[in-house]
Structures are given as C-alpha cells and as structure tokens.
Structure 1
Amino acid sequence: MNRDFTRRGFLAGAMAAGAVMGLSACGGSSASDAGSMRSGTDSSDGGAAYDGPLVALTFWNGFTGGDGAYMKSLVSEFNSEKSNINVTMQTMQWQDFYNKLPTSVTAGKAPDIAVMHLDYVGTMAARHAIQPLDDVAKALGLSEEDFAKAPWSAGVYHDVRYSIPLDVHPMGLFYNKRLMAKAGLDPEQPPLTLDTYMNALDKLKSKGIKGHWASPFQFTGGMSVYSLVSQFGGSFFSEDSSKAIWHEDAGIEAMNWWMKLVTKDYSPSKVSQDADFVAFQNDKCAFNWNGIWSINTLKENKKVDWGLAKLPKIGKRNSVWANSHQFTIPSQRSVDQNKQQAAKVFINWISKKSLEWAKGGQIPARNSVRNSGDFKSLTSQSILATQIDDVVFPPTVPGISDAIGEFYKAVNDIMLGGRDVSQVLRSSADRANKILEQNMRKYQ
C-alpha cells in the first residue's frame, strides 16, 4: 500500500461511510433488501479444497496503489496453480467500493470475493451485504491461535464471524539519520521514550531543526493523536461502544502533547497535508510518525538516509493506530455452491501466501507467515510487526467510521483554529454520540 493510496483511500472511505449507510434510506437499497440475499452458508463444507468444474470468480478491492501490483501477482499465481478456478481482480477507489458493494448485492450482481477495511465489516454485516464465515474458519481449523488477536477479533459482529484477516498496517517512527547526526544524536538509536524523545527534539531545535512536524490532518496527525489517546490510558468508545469518550482526560492529555510540538517550536504551525512527509524526505524534519505503507516510497527515494522503529511510548503504555484488510464473501441472490467453495479456497490460499503481500508494505495477520524466516528477512516490516499486540482498532460496529470522523475533524479544528482542546473534543464526542444513536436504531 503506498502512502498516497492509503491517505486518499481512507479519506474517501470516511466520506463513503455516510454514502454507504445513506443508500439504505433511498428507495430500492435498504438493509432489508440486502437481507433478502442468501448467504449460502448452509451448503458449505469449508474452504480446504475445490474439486468441481471450472468456475470464474470476481474479486473486488481498492488496491489502486503500489500494493495492487503485489495482489495482482498473487492472483496470477493462484490462477496458474488452480486449473478449475479462475479469479478476475477488479480494482476501484475505496469510496467507489464501499458505495457499490451493497447495491451490487441488492441487484444480484455482487462479486464472489471482496477485501475491505476492518472498520467497514460491521456496516456491511449489518446490511447483510456479506456472508457469515464461521463455517470457513471451522472447516479450515482456523482460530485465534492462527492469527494476531486484534485483527482476528475485528472480524466478529454480533458473535458471528464475517471476515478473515489478511494483514495489519500500523504506524511507526521514521527517523532521518542525517538530521539526527547533525544534532549530535546517535543515528542508530531512535528515541522511543518520552524523555529521550523530548531530549532529541530539544537538541534538534538547538541546531535550527524542527524535529517533528505535527500534521493537523487525519494523515498523519489524527492517526498519531489516536495512538496517543490509548497511550495515555484512554479509549475512544465506552465498553459497549455506545458512547464516544475521547474527550476525557486521556484525550485531552494526548491532544495537548500533540499541540505542544507546535507551541514549543518543535514543529511549524498549520502544517499542510503531506508536508510532514515531504519535509522528512527533504532533510527538514527528523521524525515522522507514518504508516507502514511509507516503506516502499522511502526505499525508492535514494536521497533519504532513514531508519524505522516502532512508535515511541509517550504515554503510559505502548499503543499504535492501525487498520487491517479483511477478506469477505458478499451475499448472493442465487447461490452457486461451486463458486462459494472456490472463493473459500482462494481466501485460504492468499492468507497462507501473504508473505508476497507483506512486501507491498503490510504485516501478515496469519501467525505462520509472520513468524517465518522469510518474513523476518523483510527488516522494515518485521520492526513494525513487533507492535502487533499494541495495535488499537475501532470496535466492529456499523457506521463506526462516521463517528471516528468527528474525532479527526476535532484534531483539525484544534490545530488549525487554535480552539480550546477540551471544548472541541467534547463537542466532537457529542456529535459522534448522535451518530452512534442513529446507527443503533438503524441497524437494531
């Protein structure tokens, strides 16, 4: 996943959340309409093998960036191995994907396989746009022991599994070795605690270097503050996911620390979108908290002398923003048992082969792949994989992305408007709570 793809994809996804749910309010595409589609789970025997006649499968995803080439290569390899299954991959912008999937189900034209971000699994499950996959997990003998805990748990909605995790893509600390050396810092020892981080920023500042450009935008500022809320001991939502609570003490502390980067002159004010990453590559910014998808971009830029580490522990505990791509099987108006079985074979095969996918800037969710020597040879990805138990995912709740979008708006308002941290966070949580209430009624 390259950086531009991910930023655009998630921003578009945030916009699409409202559009996807809005479809249910328009004639001809309600949740009950989608619910009339058959899941086909009653006739499945899992995904271990397929010995039937030749079937052609369609596979939808939003891999429009550099990672798309890696997935395309995997699909080609699968097709070359399976004489009786042919998969055609259709790639589109994530916004289009989240808009089109429910309507394709209602129209009886759904793809056979789809990959989506974990924060949309609840929405699509509630709209009956995707099928339960407990039978797949059972037949293949898959359980939490086979996957990282967080992405595995994220595929469950109302105690039913609707997705199989493919990967995890977290943030990390990218550090500019050239600037660290200029400030008298050891370029091979990135600061990973609050004290060492602030000391490094002070030394960089003494040399006229703004060490950490604090972005006001979701990419990467909002995701950074998201990480910090958890680091300072907070949560985004109540235990039952009915209330947004990022306005509480931990959220205020996290936002104030982020703002301090600007007020203490460690960062320019009002950093424009992506300027932090550009400055990092131009030797003007020493530290950049960014996503794993930035690895390949930096590898291609031979002018940058950079290193990578897990996100620093600024608060009380190690926590890091992350998301996950999850395999799903869309609901069908008319169930073709051969296609259903072949789709499960494909999902299982890709999961086992996710080392190649990792090269595109991902961490395999499957433990056997992540723990392999071949994955560990991917040095950068392996470094960020040490955070696999520290990732912070939103709950699997319909429309959760709409609610979280209010948090990202709050970060932007505070950073660009100079508004009161406590007041803005509380107002954004109040708006998010109204969204959560509306969704509870819509999807009950």
Structure 2
Amino acid sequence: MNLTRRGLIGAGGVMLLAACSDGGPNEKVTGGGQNAAPAATEYTGPNVALAFWNGFTGGDGPFMKKLVDQFNTEHPNIKVSMNTYQWADYYQKVPAAVATGNGPDVGIMHVDHVATNAARGVILPLEDLSKALNLTADDFSPPVWNAGIYNNTRYAIPLDVHPLGFFYNKAVMEKAGLDPDKPPTNNDEYQAALEAMKGKGIQGDWVTPFEFTGSMQFQSLLWQFGGQLFDDGATKAMFAEQAGVQALTWMTDHVKNGYSPKNVAQDADIIALRNGKNAFNWNGIWTINTLKEDKNLQWGVSALPQIGTQKAAWAGSHNFVQFKQKTKDDNKLTAGKVFINWISQHSIEWARGGQVPARKEIRDSADFKALPEQSAIGTQIDYLHFLPPKPGIADVMATVVTSINEAVLGRKDPAKALSDGAAKADQLLEQNAKKYGS
C-alpha cells in the first residue's frame, strides 16, 4: 500500500453511484431488506463461488491472498476468487457492475464510502450477521464499530483500522543531541526538539500541503484541540472554528519558524525522513513496511504526540461489505457472511501486512503484541476519529484539503483559508442532503 495510491481513496468514483439504485435518490435500504439472508456461522449448502473485490494492489495484497487461499482450503464448498483494482478504479467499477447485475459478492470499502453506497443501494445491511455472531462494540472499539452504521443500520463489518502514527529518524535526533529512544509526547517537548534541530541546521518536521499527510495531520490536531469537522448531524462545517485555527496555525508556524521548508512536495516529507533530512513525520501505519525496506535506517514509531488538550488521531478503516444482487441467492449471501467472519477471526495475518486489526481479541493476542510497530500505533484505538457516516462526505472533505493547501503554501492565513473552505463545505453538505435525501 503506497502513499500516492492511497491518495486516490477520497472522492474518486462517487459521481457514478447514482446509476446503481433501482429507485430515485431517496431510496432507502433498511435492515433485512432486499437481498437480505439469514446469517450463519457455517455454510453447509451446495458448492458456491464468490467474487471478492478490493483495492489491495500494494504490499498488503499478498497477505490477503494468503488468507483467501487458506479459507478456500478449509471450506471446500466455497470458492472465493479475489480481484484487485486501484482504489480509484474500484470505486467506479463496483457501482457500475452492481447496476448491471455483474457486481462482486463481497468486497472491501473504506469507511468513508460506506454511507454513500448504502444510500444508493449498492451494498446490503449486515445487521443479521452482527446479531447472529453476537458482535458488539466491545468486540472491536466503539469508534471503529459505530463507523459502519448508516441510518441506524449496520452496513459494514470492520476488518482493520489504519491510523496516523508518529515516525521518527533516530540518527537525525541523535545528531541534534536528542534522545533517539524518547520521541516527544507533548507540545513542549515537541517545540524543544524542533528548536534543538534548528540549532543544528535541521528542518526537523516537514509540513505537506496535501491530503497525504497534511489533511490527516490537521484533522488529528483539530480533534486534539477539542474541535470537530462537522456538527453532530454533519449538516454544517465546524472546522473553521477556534480549534481548527489553532490546529492549522500550529502547522503553518512550522514553515514560519523554519522547522519546515516551504512548498513541500507530495510525499517529500517521508522521503526526507528516509534520507536523513528530517526527523519527524506524521504518517499512516502503512508506512511501517515502507521503512522496513531501508535496512540501514534507524527509525521508530509511536502514538501521536498530544499537542492539544486531548488525545486524538485520524484513522481510516477497511470494512467488509456485501453487494446488492440482481437475483437473490441465499447460498451466496450466507457463504459470504461465513467468509467475512472467518477473515475477521484470522486477521493477525492481515496485521502483518501493516494494519491494526479491528477485532479486539486479535489486538489483545500475543501474536499482535509481537508486532512492535503495529502495536505502538494500535494503542490509539479508543481515541481514533473517523469521518461521519454521511453520503457524499468524501466529496466535502476536498474543501478541507484545499484550506490546508492554501494556508501551508502561504496564500491565505489559516483563519481565512478555513473560513472559505467551510463556506464551500456547507454548500456541498446542503447539496448532498437534497441529492441523497438525508
């Protein structure tokens, strides 16, 4: 899973969703509705073939393929075939395929796409599966579990979470006289470390104006300062209020005070860390396996430092979904649920691919604790934040990215950039409410 490809998971494909609904934009799919089938923990029916689509085209793909192969070996009456696409292509192909009756049976969706696809009838409720397996928030984590609910109905079962972590170059820290085994944990320590590196001619923490990873850093800081992206109903933007200004000012001050260069290019921040040009980088858990490729690199990773008044971190999440069928097939639906449950229970192998398993029993296992980098980032599980389950929310988030870009590049001050972005976000939220009927 590389960084630039992950940059495609945002708004790509949303515009084609309208083609996937049998009804109009206000069509609702509720628990136990069309295509629903009783959930089961085992499948005893006739041989069935399942198409499983996802976007795991990077280094994580082989880990999922290994799990699928193992599942097929243990379930001779279920044959799962895995197809992978670039995420941007995936979010276009899936709705179109479902609309023509040629869609996959089971798939993966980022949590911020679940509500949109639920509203358009592309995916099916999974309430029966969670109830049959007696799954609750305690089996996962409340923020992770609740992220898969739209209109009081569950549409997704979480596979993993992929939060931001705090990566640091130990050799660069040592060069500045810092303890390489004690990364900063709060703002005072952070500022002191940046000053120490500046004194040695090192710009220690490069701020990027792009979604990866500037927007994710901003969101983490926003929540740490007690703010929110949107109000509770996701009807109004809140990111331009005081907490948002504090968060974005903290970032732009890096450039102003010489801790970061101006005009940092996409991915240049993590490249600089790998090349010994900077010491600190807020980046996703997927960076673990990237850094492990540098055999001579001395690096570490921890939970994000608490810059604001509370702990918080941005996170994404891959979720299992089932797709609407042209003709209902209870065997496929039941077998798909068995597959989802089995992969969830065996997700320690997925963790080795660079993820934090959503399932608590896997996170608490000795096998997961034996993965020190994933475990360090996983300690943030109970104070992770996700986008609200609102149809079209990925499109709205483009206004946040634009605001950060304008401020970090010095084109607007943080308050002005955020205010302008929030005004555009409010317009999009209103349009989406009419478009999706929510």
| Shift, 1:3, TM fit | 3.0
| Shift, 1:323, TM fit | 0.4
Mapped to 2, the partners of 1:394 and 1:227 lie a distance apart of 12
Extract unaligned runs of 5+ from structure 2. Answer: none
| Alpha carbons of structure 1 residues 202 and 36: separation in structure 2 relative to 1, 3 Å | closer
Mapped to 2, the partners of 1:32 and 1:62 lie a distance apart of 28
Task: After superposition, give the CA deviation of every residue in 1:255-299 in whole Å (9 maximum; x if it has no partner).
Answer: 000001111001111111111111100111011111100001111
- Give the aligned residue type for 1:13: I
Does 2:45 align with 1:13? Answer: no
Task: After superposition, give the CA deviation of every residue in 1:214-270 in whole Å (9 maximum; x if it has no partner).
Answer: 111111111101111111110000011101110000000100000011110011111
| Shift, 1:396, TM fit | 0.4
| Shift, 1:144, TM fit | 1.1
| Shift, 1:22, TM fit | 4.6
Mapped to 2, the partners of 1:145 and 1:362 lie a distance apart of 19
Which one of the candidate residues 272, 275, 296 is aligned to 1:279?
Answer: 272
Mapped to 2, the partners of 1:36 and 1:171 lie a distance apart of 34
The alignment partner of 1:32 has SS state of coil
Which one of the candidate residues 213, 221, 231 is aligned to 1:220?
Answer: 213
| Shift, 1:52, TM fit | 0.7
| Shift, 1:13, TM fit | 2.6
Does 2:248 align with 1:255? Answer: yes
Report what 1:166 is aligned to: 159
Mapped to 2, the partners of 1:168 and 1:89 lie a distance apart of 21
Which one of the candidate residues 14, 23, 36 is aligned to 1:32?
Answer: 23
TM-score, with structure 2 as normaliser: 0.96
- Give the aligned residue type for 1:3: N
Tell me the C-alpha RMSD between the 2 structures.
1.7
The alignment partner of 2:83 has SS state of strand
| Shift, 1:400, TM fit | 0.5
Report what 1:3 is aligned to: 2
Report what 1:418 is aligned to: 411
Mapped to 1, the partners of 2:339 and 2:306 lie a distance apart of 39
| Shift, 1:46, TM fit | 1.1
Contact 2:35–2:325 under 8 Å retained in 1: no
Does 2:142 align with 1:149? Answer: yes
Q: How does 1:61-140 map to 2 (within 5 A)?
A: 61-140=54-133
Contact 1:61–1:97 under 8 Å retained in 2: yes
- Give the aligned residue type for 2:9: G
| Shift, 1:8, TM fit | 2.0
The alignment partner of 1:375 has SS state of helix
The alignment partner of 1:110 has SS state of coil
- Give the aligned residue type for 2:39: G
| Shift, 1:102, TM fit | 1.6
The percentage of aligned residue pairs carrying the same residue is 49
| Alpha carbons of structure 1 residues 42 and 299: separation in structure 2 relative to 1, 3 Å | closer
The alignment partner of 1:237 has SS state of coil
Extract unaligned runs of 5+ from structure 1. Answer: none
Report what 2:172 is aligned to: 179
The alignment partner of 2:167 has SS state of strand
Q: How does 1:185-200 map to 2 (within 5 A)?
A: 185-200=178-193
Mapped to 2, the partners of 1:166 and 1:427 lie a distance apart of 36
Mapped to 2, the partners of 1:118 and 1:23 lie a distance apart of 16
| Alpha carbons of structure 1 residues 36 and 278: separation in structure 2 relative to 1, 3 Å | closer
Across the two proteins, how many residue pairs are aligned to each other? 435
Runs of 4 or more consecutive aligned structure 1 residues displaced over 4 Å after TM superposition: 28-31, 33-43
| Shift, 1:335, TM fit | 0.9
Report what 1:330 is aligned to: 323
| Shift, 1:418, TM fit | 2.8
Mapped to 1, the partners of 2:205 and 2:396 lie a distance apart of 28
| Shift, 1:421, TM fit | 1.5
Report what 1:395 is aligned to: 388
